[in-house]
Amino acid sequence: MSRQDINRSGEMEVFVRAVELGGFTAAARACRMTPSAVSKLVARLEARLGARLVNRSTRKLHLTPEGCAFYERSVSILADIAEAERYASAGEQATGPIRINTSASFGHHILAPLVCEFLALNPAVTLDISHTDAVVDLVEDRADVAIRAGPLKSSSLIARKLGFTRKLIVASPDYLKRAGEPTTIADLKRHRRVGFSYARSVQGWPLLDGGEIIALPITPGVQVGDGEAMRYMALSGAGLARLASFTVRADIEAGRLVPVLEDINPGDIEEFYAVYIGQGGPLPARVRALLDFLAERVSL
């Protein structure tokens, strides 16, 4: 078969379906093929590339490192093809689904109030929003955009800065009435603290000690999986919590939470970014519309 006769995009689509659906049988159903035809297609693909893409030793499909690389590039190429077709048929109109991954606090306090306005401006777009404070793999999660705090760890990702926020240590009035208000670092030892149940890029609570910033290790009395759960723990009187100011701004204004230890708060900030996979090509119109909107409208 000549190189011109090979339907590369078709092969990529079948291979991507097999990976995302977890096997050849499911991909066969989705692509209206037989499992044997899918298996032979992948075998021909491996023979032409000279690399094994999947391990078939178990019933579940497992990618080799070469398979992972081919899958990631195939997803990007197929997205570019789809976008080229959309440009040809609908110009630059933002259309189609956008999958967003964001932290629970950002999603609840910042993103949710903006959703209606964005959809009014882009009526042909649909949103699929998932909340998790854990850092996800954008390819594995199939997310178009992730909202993340702090520096990037992968050079394959591109970030657009949305703003920054201060971190505050807060507690409910009821908790402070029972336990007393801490005024020094030493006071923290007798207070229950709420912490995250997963590793953070910054360990401990940054505080001023004699003019120097230290990261005070904490042993949480309560551990939770996201910032919004931590907020609810603080509101319920479970202890002290250190949270982004936008997460607790309304609670402080309403008197439901009280900032503490502000005299030794170093005023450190946390930067927020809209993160997406960059492959050097044009962004889909729907993703570009979302990034432009967030950059203009987000206020932390």
DSSP secondary structure string, 71-93?
A: HHHHHHHHHHHHHHHHHHHHTT-
Cβ 227 vs Cβ 105: under 8 Å: yes
Nearest to 56 by CA among 77, 38, 31, 79: 38
Distance between alpha carbon 271 and the CA centroid of its chain, in Å?
14
> What local confidence, expressed as pLDDT, does residue 280 receive?
54
More confident site: 140 or 293 = 293
> What local confidence, expressed as pLDDT, does residue 219 receive?
81
More confident site: 71 or 139 = 71
Q: What is the pLDDT of residues 245-287, one digit of tens each?
A: 999 999 999 999 999 999 999 988 889 999 887 655 677 889 9
Query: For 296-300, what is the mean pLDDT?
Result: 93
Residue 1 pLDDT greater than 50, yes or no? no
pLDDT above 70 covers a percentage of the chain that reads 87
Q: What is the pLDDT of residues 78-132, one digit of tens each?
A: 887 876 766 655 456 788 899 999 999 999 999 999 999 999 999 999 999 999 8
Residue 222 pLDDT greater than 70, yes or no? yes
> What local confidence, expressed as pLDDT, does residue 217 receive?
85
Q: How many CB atoms lie within 10 A of CB 102?
A: 23
Question: Mean pLDDT in the chain?
Answer: 86
Q: What is the pLDDT of residues 14-29, one digit of tens each?
A: 998 888 888 888 888 8
Residue 200 pLDDT greater than 70, yes or no? no
Query: For 36-56, what is the mean pLDDT?
Result: 89
> What local confidence, expressed as pLDDT, does residue 87 receive?
60
Angle of helix 35-49 versus helix 8-21 axis, rounded to 10: 120
Residues 85, 91, 92, 94, CA torsion sign: negative
Angle of helix 112-121 versus helix 285-297 axis, rounded to 10: 130
More confident site: 5 or 100 = 100
Confidence of residue 139 (pLDDT cuts 50, 70, 90): low
Confidence of residue 2 (pLDDT cuts 50, 70, 90): very low
> What local confidence, expressed as pLDDT, does residue 176 receive?
97
Q: What is the pLDDT of residues 143-182, one digit of tens each?
A: 889 998 876 665 567 888 999 999 999 999 999 999 999 9
